[in-house]
Amino acid sequence: MAASFDSDKAAALHRHLHSHLPPEPALRVKALESLLVERGLVSTQTLDSWVEAYTEEIGPKRGAQVVARSWLDQDFRARLLENATEAIKEFGFEGNATGNLKAVENTDTTHNLVVCTLCSCYPFSLLGMSPAWYKAGAYRARAVREPRKVLKEFGVELSEDVAVRVWDSTAELRYLIVPQRPAGTEGWSEVQLAEIVTRNAMIGTDRDLKTGAA
């Protein structure tokens, strides 16, 4: 008996199966993880430890500590802006992703924005894993061509007297933005200040940090 094929049923089955599966990138990651574990190249515990480290311990917390220190210690701030790679060694944060690191500061008249137009170079040893939008082609292309429009989409509206400087990261040079310290934080400790520094502020898609004050 000849086999029969019902395209509608096949399509419905396809949709049903994929409704229970994670997105394609997640599938690829899971497949790669399973292969590495199966071949004994890495253990599940090691992978879990790395994920926890970058989400809970590193994340943007390291960068936030650096920024908070720069707000409190003018000598450190000067060293950071002169040679960020050397300055962050005081924290023990150096690594391959920060081997050549440049810090730039926002001011009343300047706003900085970081992008990687070629791929997605990023100082992950300071900021943790890069956000999905940072790696997206639309952001990488538009941040250079129309940075003010991109910033507006992130909720950052700048007056015309504020210049926007776009910094293009590479495998050899990566950037850390030092946002402005919010008013009303006088007397705050370094720990308190670090808690209000956001990852996006250190990329440049956030500008006015929230203090939680009424």
Residue positions annotated with a catalytic role: 116, 119-121
Distance linking the first and last C-alpha atoms of the chain: 77
Estimate to the nearest angstrom the gap between the alpha carbon of 163 and the chain centroid: 23
Could you tell me the two tokens for 141? 């292309």
Distance of CA 125 to the CA centre of its chain: 10
Contact 93, 62 (CB under 8 A): yes
Separation between Cα atoms, residue 103 and residue 126, nearest integer Å: 12
* Strand pairing category for 110-115 and 163-168: parallel
Based on the number of CB atoms within 10 Å of its own CB, is 186 exposed (0-12), middle (13-18) or buried (19 or more)?
exposed
